[in-house]
Chains A and B, each alone.
Chain A
């Protein structure tokens, strides 16, 4: 009998050894260093050059935007679940999107899909005003709590992104983090002439590509961009 259950125990241990990689834990005191490492290795080394973006990412404490359970992974090169089927984007995606907008200090930016509030915080370090709309009430509330002390230039709204945020339009840039099968007609209308809108599309945990929408002369054109270092599939 004992041997039988011994076998089970051996099986369990084998499974653990095989499948259970030891999580890389980051101690609280190391957050600052982890953040600097993150910006250097995951972002700057991959080609993001926009200095204001890099500075913002060095400053915003990403670990404050994830759950207790996800703290050890806060500065890793990956997206993390934040509940309600949503994620906090991979740091590189946040940086790449921010750089694409080329935000300036006088910018007014609309974000559709606040999520954890991290992207809004990064933008708030660079631009004049950020308006962020989240449809899931609890997420909106949590983000508002996180942002209110350190980012007074962020207005977090619990509402339906379909309507954008008419009150503060027009915007220099719009980020749609919760990409949908269509662009709500209100959003291009609320974009300034010459403004840019950016939409990440793809699996939240895997590869994402960005679609950049530009408004020139009232005409909208799109450009598909890759935020990850894919080599295009070239054939001979």
Chain B
């Protein structure tokens, strides 16, 4: 029950952070759990005798403390002095201290839980195998239970509810010899869990999140608040809420109110009034381009996020509109509507599907006249907040799939907000050009791509057959009427690219031209930001920062402003530094009290450090890689945590039957290396293709795929410990500490490497870490 609580809490924390900040921070949550565990290991090594002497009394108390700690995990996200706001990290220096405090608070219940587990394993030495198995299978079950709870309870209710698991375990183990004392011990944690569950503290999202901004509007009212593993869904209505992205200045009508749909507090989409009351505002935006290039019967709307693209297709006379929405709750809202805002299920032309758009592209055999992708970027730039998010719909492979789903004269359309320095439009165009080059032949892209530009938005359209003279005449006519500038046409003239909307200089246009030439790669290399198309191996479309250009950018933009261009990457770096420091301070430094034994120490360092780093890097890259297959990071996190821990537990249990001879350890570490390389090759190649069945079947398949590698990954650590016990028993605490420290660093490091160099590099590094561990074993063997 303790292990269930500990793992389920990691899922809950990811959900809470997604809501109050802007990202799930899976890497940080996993690292904080390991920080708590690592610190508990060190603590246990230091006060082993005292702890063991009082194990019967301490064990339930530690479990109760763990439960209490879990229940109080909402504190850094609730109003009060400990609340932190990552948006203000580079504005208010005190936020750094708050972040460190939050990290410590978050890792505290893991510390108590880890200590309880260590105590139970050591005190119940005769049943170590069973206890270890119970611990790991509980951890595995915790992932699924955590995921299940996110479908039923609001994020703020999850920590106290999950806290009840360790509290219940503590209750079972309390000696109850002195009823009064026992009752007193129980009241605080149990009472806190229950009170906080039934009257949860309000989670306070950052004031810069969309939900906070919208709730500041007069008469703002939350119409729907629904928990979901894909994120807390909210629908908010306010009199001042209107939506008309990129609307032409020529539009003179009124803009009706809409209801905002928010996922985890971020604006996701909108619910509009019924089509009959809703003007086709998108017909007055650059999105009209797609409908100028084709008169579509069959329209595929990938992740429409709201009713406007559906209304647009209806008004343009589409006979069949397939809207693929990945979020269950948003799909339901789009179908049924809510409180006066229209649903579209009743339109015979409209079919709403709830599935991952990328999965739909892979599995559908049908072809469409028009495929619309969701809008890219955010108005006013998103300051790099989504640099760490996997966006599998915006990879080159995804665009190629969409191309295959077009009818012979079909059109694919995608809009993007202009930013500065220009990044999103260039990367998007580069992806489109490479798609055409791969599918229609080299250097033909200019004939297939058209684009319209307004003051803040660009819409690109890719036509499967070359854009005709008739098409260009139509586009020019509408551009003039709506006050838009044609940006790309096969016969574009420089003078018409900035007739209504002038830029500060012509560099944007020159860069666009360069993308169509053989000097494209040169532009990728020399541009200050990463505009190379995203791929399934590195699906971070919004990641633009290039570390090699940091010094130049700092000089150009000033050091103070630099973080606001790529905030996600900078926060990743800061959290990595904080985690490394905390791991050293809380895990390693206290071990010096036991003394540093030089004999064999370097091998202990390499072996156990390598295992910690390799295992955690693999765990994180599995989560990132399986996000495409399972459709959502939280699903992937729960599945990976559950499967990897469970099968590693089985492996650890089985390892008791293996003699800790160097040859055996070498063989197993070698198998792990080989396994990682194979998984790296296989998972990346099949990750985007194997769409089948429902989500349950896919979770089961993913868990099954993890089973073999999870099983062997569970062996090197216990085997190494047993070997160390024979050779250098005084280094056992160091082995735990070093492993814990590198386990804390691993998740953040894996994220850095994945974002900068792709998943394959993470697999390579994880395999290298295990290879180093293998080499250190060989050294022991040779010495002996």
Contact = CB atoms under 8 A, between A and B. Distances in A.
Interface string B142-186: 000000000000000000000000000000000000000000000
Nearest to B499: A221
Contacts of A182: 244-247, 255
Interface string B379-415: 1110100000000000000000000000000000000
B526 A235 contact: yes
Contacts of B441: none
Interface residues of A, number: 61
A167 interface: no
Given A4-B593, A20-B96, A202-B380, A162 B240 contact: yes
Most buried by A among B239, B422, B564, B584: B564
Contact of B420 (A3, A78, A202, A213): A202
A181 B527 contact: no
A153 interface: no
B556 A221 contact: no
A15 interface: yes
Contacts of A202: 380-381, 419-420
A233 B255 contact: no
B237 interface: no
Given A211-B455, A223-B502, A232-B507, A183 B578 contact: no
B783 interface: no
A203 B564 contact: yes
Given A14-B581, A15-B100, A221-B500, A205 B240 contact: no
Interface string A1-18: 101100110111011101
A28 interface: no
A11 B97 CA distance: 12
B379 A181 contact: yes
Nearest to B514: A235
Nearest to B590: A4
A203 B556 contact: no
Contact of A206 (B209, B502, B565): B565
Interface in B523-568: 523, 526-528, 556-557, 560-561, 563-565
Interface stretch (A81-89, A95-103, A141-149): A81-89
A21 to B, nearest CB: 6
B208 interface: yes
B505 A232 contact: yes
A56 interface: no
B253 A185 contact: yes
Contact of B585 (A11, A160, A185): A11
A107 interface: no
Contacts of A137: 218
Contacts of A160: 239-240
B503 interface: yes
Residue among A162, A223, A224, A236 having the largest count of chain B Cβ atoms under 10 Å: A224
A236 to B, nearest CB: 7
A203 B381 contact: yes
A29 interface: no
B589 A184 contact: no
Contacts of A26: none
Contacts of A15: 96-97, 100, 578, 581
A94 B501 CA distance: 23
A183 B249 contact: yes
A16 B590 CA distance: 20
A207 to B, nearest CB: 6
B526 A236 contact: yes
A205 B244 contact: no
Interface residues of B, number: 77
B249 A226 contact: no
A127 interface: no
A135 B502 contact: no
Interface stretch (B86-94, B309-317, B328-336, B744-752): B86-94
Contacts of B245: 181-182
B500 A222 contact: yes
Interface string A96-131: 000000000000000000000000000000000000
B216 interface: yes
B169 to A, nearest CB: 27
Contacts of B243: 181
Given A233-B527, A236-B526, A205 B90 contact: yes
A181 B244 contact: yes
A34 interface: no
A136 interface: yes
Contacts of A221: 500-502
Contacts of A85: 207-209, 212-213, 216
B502 A8 contact: no
A33 to B, nearest CB: 22
B364 interface: no
Nearest to B375: A181
A235 B527 contact: yes
B775 interface: no
Contact of A230 (B212, B246, B421): B421
B481 to A, nearest CB: 12
Given A207-B557, A211-B455, 12 more contacts: A7-B586, A77-B560, A182-B246, A183-B455, A185-B251, A185-B255, A205-B564, A207-B421, A221-B501, A230-B557, A235-B514, A236-B526
18 contacts: A3-B590, A7-B585, A11-B585, A11-B586, A11-B589, A78-B91, A162-B255, A179-B380, A181-B243, A181-B245, A213-B249, A221-B500, A221-B501, A221-B502, A225-B504, A226-B420, A230-B556, A235-B507
